[in-house]
């Protein structure tokens, strides 16, 4: 009994002392590399009030609670063991909506948000009708989420992809050609630990889209130099905290792509198509066109056919656009999640005969309130 009492007290007191001691000694971390998000860092009450006008003591205490949780010693290890407990011991199917199936990590998106989708589609329809030329129909290409492949005939809930596609077709079909990329993709074309597709496997998709715009030369993997970055843990790996082997991040380059210049029309900065310094950043996928950017112009000095491609896209577009860009003199890349159309029109002008591609993943299309008007 005494031994038990001693050991219990020892463990309890050690735990009580160690956590504040380690927290005090270790410097605050600014970013969680696994979750790919900034962490809350300490600020005193006066600084907090200065940076949060109108906030009082109760908001500050909430801030402190967030701070202590974010800076908790060995936070990632705790998260990993918790997910092992919940999925391994409690036999739960997912953790915060993230699941592991057939070696892939995914995130549940079980309900088709019909109203949100209708709202998003009305924004896109308005953008096309009011701002784009009449020469040729824009193309809407829908990228299936990993769930579409993984969850078929599984115990996990998911909405019907066909229903989503049907609603898009109904809303946009009159003014756009609506195309599903589902028949041209498989689960192997996606990273295991990330929601995105692997550029290495996008030849079929790129060829299909180029054909729609009248380019019938077939792209082949041999036209590119394959480059890779090992130890790529995608977004889902960190967010789920499930122990998995890393992916290999691939990108395809050639002289034409390497010579292209990408202009950020919001900041005025210039960069290459593949920003390799981003491989060491929080999200290595930002390698492609620098990650989340509102408005980009890709200048292709090797091409002089006067053709312009306008792509309204989400993050999936970042890795596909470099494969389409060599066929155009200029590519405008617009992410309506980060910029409103009025701001776009202040910075760029559209050619009346431009090819227009709306390229969105089903997960973004089904997310409420993603697009700015």
Partner 1 sequence: MLVPLLLFKYGDFFIRNIDQVFPGMLSPLGLVLPIGVSFYTFQILSYVIDVYRREVEVEKNPFYFLMYVSFFPQLIAGPIVRFQTIQKEIRNRKVTLELFASGITRFVTGLGKKILIANLLAEFGQQLSLAGTRSVLSLWAGALAFTFQIYFDFSGYSDMAIGLGRMFGFQFLENFDYPYLSQSITEFWRRWHMSLGSWFRDYVYIPMGGSRVSSWKMIRNLWVVWLLTGFWHGASWNFVVWGFFYFILLQMERIGLSKILDKAGSAVRIVYTFFFVNLGFVLFNADSLTEALSNIGGMFGGQALKLWDPLTLYYVKSYALVFLLAIIASTPYPKRLWERIRNRTSGFILDTVAALGVFMVLFLSTAQLVDGSFNPFLYFRF
Length of the chain as a residue count? 373
In the complex, the smallest distance separating the C-beta of residue 157 from partner 1, rounded to whole angstroms, is 5
Of 10 and 292, which CB lies nearer to partner 1 in the complex structure? 10
Residue 120, both tokens: 């998003």
Nearest Cα neighbor of 219 from 210, 231, 229 is: 210
Q: Are 309 and 355 in contact (CB under 8 A)?
A: yes
Of 12 and 42, which CB lies nearer to partner 1 in the complex structure? 12
Sites of contact with partner 1 (CB under 8 A):
1-9, 11-12, 15, 58, 65-66, 69, 72, 75, 78-79, 81-82, 85, 90-94, 96, 110-111, 155-157, 241
In the complex, the smallest distance separating the C-beta of residue 192 from partner 1, rounded to whole angstroms, is 22
d(CA 109, CA 93): 14
What does residue 152 show for φ and ψ, rounded to 5 degrees? -60, 130
Of 239 and 361, which CB lies nearer to partner 1 in the complex structure? 239
In the complex, the smallest distance separating the C-beta of residue 124 from partner 1, rounded to whole angstroms, is 25
In the complex, the smallest distance separating the C-beta of residue 96 from partner 1, rounded to whole angstroms, is 7
Residue 175, both tokens: 């003014």
Of 109 and 169, which CB lies nearer to partner 1 in the complex structure? 109
Q: Are 150 and 187 in contact (CB under 8 A)?
A: yes
Of 244 and 266, which CB lies nearer to partner 1 in the complex structure? 244
Of 168 and 240, which CB lies nearer to partner 1 in the complex structure? 240
Residue 373, both tokens: 């008007």
In the complex, the smallest distance separating the C-beta of residue 360 from partner 1, rounded to whole angstroms, is 23
User: Residue 372: is it exposed, middle or buried by C-beta count within 10 angstroms (0-12/13-18/19+)?
Assistant: middle
In the complex, the smallest distance separating the C-beta of residue 11 from partner 1, rounded to whole angstroms, is 5
Longest CA–CA span in the chain (Å) reads 87
């Amino acid at each position: 009994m005494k031994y038990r009492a001693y050991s219990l007290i020892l463990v309890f007191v050690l735990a009580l002392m160690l956590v504040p001691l380690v927290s005090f000694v270790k410097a605050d971390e600014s970013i969680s590399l696994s979750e790919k998000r900034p962490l809350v860092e300490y600020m005193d009450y006066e600084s907090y009030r200065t940076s949060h006008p109108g906030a009082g003591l109760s908001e500050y205490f909430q801030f402190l609670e967030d701070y202590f949780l974010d800076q908790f010693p060995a936070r990632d290890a705790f998260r990993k063991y918790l997910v092992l407990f919940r999925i391994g011991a409690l036999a739960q199917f997912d953790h915060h909506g993230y699941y592991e199936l057939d070696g892939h990590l995914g995130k549940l998106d079980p309900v088709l948000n019909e109203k949100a989708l209708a709202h998003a589609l009305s924004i896109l329809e308005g953008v096309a009708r009011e701002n784009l030329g009449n020469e040729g129909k824009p193309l809407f290409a829908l990228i299936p989420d990993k769930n579409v492949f993984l969850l078929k005939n599984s115990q996990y809930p998911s909405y019907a992809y066909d229903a989503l596609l049907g609603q898009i077709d109904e809303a946009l079909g009159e003014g756009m050609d609506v195309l599903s990329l589902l028949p041209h993709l498989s689960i192997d074309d996606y990273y295991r630990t990330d929601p995105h597709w692997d550029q290495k496997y996008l030849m079929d998709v790129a060829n299909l889209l180029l054909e729609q715009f009248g380019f019938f030369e077939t792209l082949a993997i041999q036209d590119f130099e394959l480059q890779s970055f090992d130890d790529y843990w995608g977004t889902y790996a960190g967010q789920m905290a499930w122990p998995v082997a890393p992916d290999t991040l691939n990108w395809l380059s050639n002289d034409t792509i390497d010579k292209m210049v990408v202009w950020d029309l919001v900041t005025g900065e210039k960069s290459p198509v593949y920003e390799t310094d981003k491989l060491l950043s929080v999200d290595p996928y930002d390698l492609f066109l620098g990650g989340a950017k509102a408005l980009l112009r890709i200048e292709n000095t090797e091409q002089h056919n006067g053709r312009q491609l306008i792509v309204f896209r989400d993050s999936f577009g970042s890795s596909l656009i470099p494969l389409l860009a060599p066929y155009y003199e200029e590519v405008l890349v617009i992410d309506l999640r980060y910029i409103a159309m009025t701001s776009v029109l202040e910075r760029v002008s559209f050619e009346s005969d431009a090819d227009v591609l709306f390229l969105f993943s089903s997960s973004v299309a089904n997310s409420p309130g993603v697009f700015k008007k």
